[in-house]
Amino acid sequence: MANQMREAAIVGIHEYPLRVAPGRSAMQIKVESIKAALDDAGLKWSDIDAVYDTNDGEGGGGLGMAPYLGLKPTVIDTTQVGGSSYEFQTAHALRDIAAGKANVAVLTYGSTAASSRRAIGTGGATGQGLPNWQGNMEDPYGMITVGNYALVAHRHMHEYGTTTEDLAEISVATRLHATRNPEAVKAMTDLQFMGTGEITIQDVLESRMISDPLHLLECCMQSDGGGAVIIASRDVARGTKKKPAWIIGTGEAIKYRENGGDITTSAAAQGGPIAFAEAQVTPAEIDIAMIYDSFTITVATILEDLGFCKKGEYRDLAKGGRFRFDTALKPTLNTDGGGLSSNHPGMRGIFLLFESVRQLRGESTSQVAGAKLAIAHGNGGALGGTHAGGSVILAAD
């Protein structure tokens, strides 16, 4: 497109390779990843002038990361909206760089959720601790995170006739991609999955019920992990080691419960159209869809809300294994193996950016031939409740 934005690009990435990393701290994971991402881009520590952090890790955040790294950034952003934080921060980095406030930004994440035995997702859907206005109508009754998503799945089934078999297509496709990713296979091995090979729809249906109608193989793993993303201005991007992945459209939104509201519609329905309009592309043109897969129902609703099909028509979109990397159909889904079969250290949004960039560079283990456009959509919070949705559309150089 003649007027398509080319103000900033992702020029360096690194995904920490281990999903179980005993003896490592979250900060060590972050710092090692930043160094590797800078090397990937061919840049130096001294080039960084903007730090984006979600206050995770030991002593991190706006007042922690800069002195730990010995940096003096002109921009610090500590936006924290759960798993979508990194899509929000990518949008903010784009705006800050376009405004001339920075040239090289770093986004980073580190987590030792598995090694620390943190029981992610087993608390109340709205949090734990003292009573508060958000949780006072739910927490006393024992609602947990997966239960919230199960309610959305049941409602989607009731409204649109969606079946568990339809949702299982997501688990099957992402597991295929995971089997081709050595780091994902090691993750499943280290986390003691019952099997690390491909699965079938029947396997999903026969796996243990976690929260009706969601089965074990429809729920994300809990792992360690992290990584870093380097975003640079147009001038810097032209001189980096690898081809840039241009940020051409972003969208941010939140959604929450309302009387008469539709819990099967996510924040993507508001933010997605903004991203597509800014990018001047349509969902039909997207080659790679990296969609936050905390549970299968998360992906199904977001695909609808981003416009890959009409609301309630996910079941038609999913037929025939169309999400696999080796079909001629668009979009291909979660080619790294996703949160279901590759990693989920608590906030998975940054990993969506990694794999989107790898696809556009031609570096994926489940490479889609001729991939030119990718969307990374993060979901933070609880689907069907208060949550954030961030979309980032990337284009190959």
Q: For 312-355, what is each residue's pLDDT tens digit?
A: 999 999 988 889 999 989 999 999 999 999 999 999 999 999 99
CATH of the domain at 102: 3.40.47.10
Q: Which two tokens stand for residue 289?
A: 């869809």
DSSP 367: P
Of the chain, the end-to-end C-alpha distance in Å amounts to: 13
**Angle at 135 (CA atoms; ends 129, 140), nearest 5 degrees:** 80
Supply the range of the domain harboring residue 251.
Answer: 8-116+222-396
DSSP 380: E
Residue 198 lies in a domain: no
Residue 168 lies in a domain: no
Pairing of strands 209-211, 214-215: antiparallel
Q: Which two tokens stand for residue 75?
A: 């921009």
Q: Which of 34, 95, 44, 41 is closest to 245 using CA atoms?
A: 41
Residue 381 lies in a domain: yes
In this model, does residue 144 exceed pLDDT 90?
Answer: no
Residue whose entry in the numeric block shows the structure tokens 């080319």: 6
Q: Name the band, by pLDDT with cuts 50, 70 and 90, for residue 311.
A: very high
Residue 191 lies in a domain: no
Residue 36 lies in a domain: yes
Distance CA 223, CA 18 (A): 9
Q: Name the band, by pLDDT with cuts 50, 70 and 90, for residue 129.
A: low
| pTM of structure | 0.96
Q: What is the pLDDT of residues 161-174, one digit of tens each?
A: 999 999 999 999 99
Find the mean pLDDT for residues 244-257. Answer: 96
Which of 114-118, 121-125, 232-236 has the lowest average pLDDT? Answer: 121-125
Looking at the 3D structure of the chain, how many domains does it have? 1
Residue 136 lies in a domain: no
pLDDT at 63: 82
pLDDT at 170: 98
pLDDT at 367: 98
Residue 153 lies in a domain: no
> What string of DSSP letters covers 85-151?
HHHHHHHHHHHHHHTTS-SEEEEEEEE-TTTTT--TT-SBTT-SSS--TTTTTTGGGT-BHHHHHHH
Find the mean pLDDT for residues 132-147. Answer: 77
What is the rounded average pLDDT for all residues in the chain? 93
Find the mean pLDDT for residues 47-66. Answer: 86
pLDDT at 109: 95
Find the mean pLDDT for residues 20-40. Answer: 95
pLDDT at 126: 52
**Greater model confidence, 66 or 38:** 38
Q: Which of 384, 212, 360 is closest to 300 using CA atoms?
A: 384
Residue 141 lies in a domain: no
Structural element, H or E, at residue 160: helix 145-160
